[in-house]
Amino acid sequence: MLAFLIRRAISLVITLWAIFTLTFFLMRAVPGGPLDQERKLEPHLKANLEARYHLDEPVIQQYWRELSNFARGDFGLSYKMGDFTVNQIIAQSLPVSALLGLLALSFALVVGVTAGVLAASWRRSGVDIVLMGLATVGIALPNFVVASLAIMVFVFWFGLLPAAGWGSISDLILPSICLGLPYAAYIARLTRTGMLDVLSQDYIRTAYAKGLPAQLVVMRHALRGAMVPIVSFLGPATAGILTGSPVVEQIFAIPGMGRHIVESALQRDLTLSMGLVLVYTVILFVTNTIVDLSYGLLDPRVKLE
């Protein structure tokens, strides 16, 4: 276990350095710069701003300067939000996206696993057809369509929930459902496939031969083995859902990381884009490591290699 974690820590450092290097030079290879505006700046103002952000230095010198700052956890000042550092923006937006993501992930797991187990238990029945049909629709529909339909139904038609905002429990319901629905659809299909594979194993037939109730066989013996593909999917899904969906956050006016990811790229806010990319990389790496560790708990045959 310790050797595995040490190898993963070394891999994380190498991965962060490679992503930082690739992102740094790609952003500077794109035409235009962070100080470009519709109205041109006066030459002396532009020179002062370039000196403030060290843009007047050679590119390789900027690279080493930012690399050393990022190694210390200092992401620098935002180009477009000059009153805030990148660290402050991430500290304010990450908890919002994390809370929304955890609620959406919980919804996706409960709904997806339940639908998948029911579909596998009644294979080729009406229940199976309806649930998998709904899962296919959930995968096919984009977030903005789901969010728009949810607002029409629950806000304008029935008036049960607020259309946007952040601060109360009712504000969390629609965004978390809209964000978690596609993941629930994927989990439902993965659960059904995994359950059908496990239910055909010899130890499941043995459990039935011993006279165990079907519900006990499914929930205690089959579901554990069927969770392996779901856990594999949850690694990248958790990272994506925790960092927020730009579309959902924009529609429901949620001050999370997803909106900053898009705006920083469009506005050429180099430091903010870099900070968000590295934070996303760390979250993805950590969640994948947790997923690898959980394999041994779900299936004793899996070794940490």
Residue 49 banded pLDDT, cuts 50, 70, 90: low
Share of the chain above pLDDT 90, in %: 7
Q: What is the CATH number of the domain that holds 164?
A: 1.10.3720.10
Residue 162 covered by a domain? yes
- Count of other CB atoms within 10 angstroms of residue 159: 8
155 and 213 in a single domain? The answer is yes
Residue 45 lies in domain:
2-71
Q: Which pLDDT tens digit goes with each residue over 71-122?
A: 888 888 887 776 788 889 888 888 888 888 888 989 999 999 899 888 888 8
Q: What is the mean pLDDT of residues 132-138?
A: 89
Q: Which helix (H) or strand (E) holds 213?
A: none
Give how many domains the chain has, as a whole number. Answer: 2
pLDDT value of position 280: 85
Residues 193 and 280 in one domain: yes
As a whole number, mean pLDDT of residues 165-175 equals 82
CA distance 149 to 131: 20
Domain boundary among 38, 71, 104: 71
- Taking CA 276 as the corner, what is the angle to CA 99 and CA 182, rounded to the nearest 5 degrees? 50
Is residue 225 within 8 Å of residue 193, measured between CB atoms? Answer: no
Note whether 162 and 270 are same-domain residues: yes
Question: Does the pLDDT value for residue 18 go beyond 90?
Answer: yes
User: Cα–Cα distance between 234 and 228 in angstroms, integer?
Assistant: 10
Query: Which pLDDT tens digit goes with each residue over 217-268?
Result: 777 767 777 777 787 787 777 776 776 577 888 888 888 887 788 788 777 7
pLDDT given for residue 256 in this prediction: 82
Query: Exposed/middle/buried for 30, CB within 10 Å: 0-12, 13-18, 19+?
Result: exposed
265: left (phi over 0), alpha (psi -120 to 50) or beta: alpha
The answer to whether residues 190 and 113 belong to one domain is yes
Block residue for tokens 């089959």: 222
Residue 58 lies in a domain: yes
What pLDDT was estimated at residue 37? 59
Considering the domain architecture, whether residues 100 and 67 belong to the same structural domain is answered as no
Asked whether residue 251 falls in the same domain as residue 106, the answer is yes
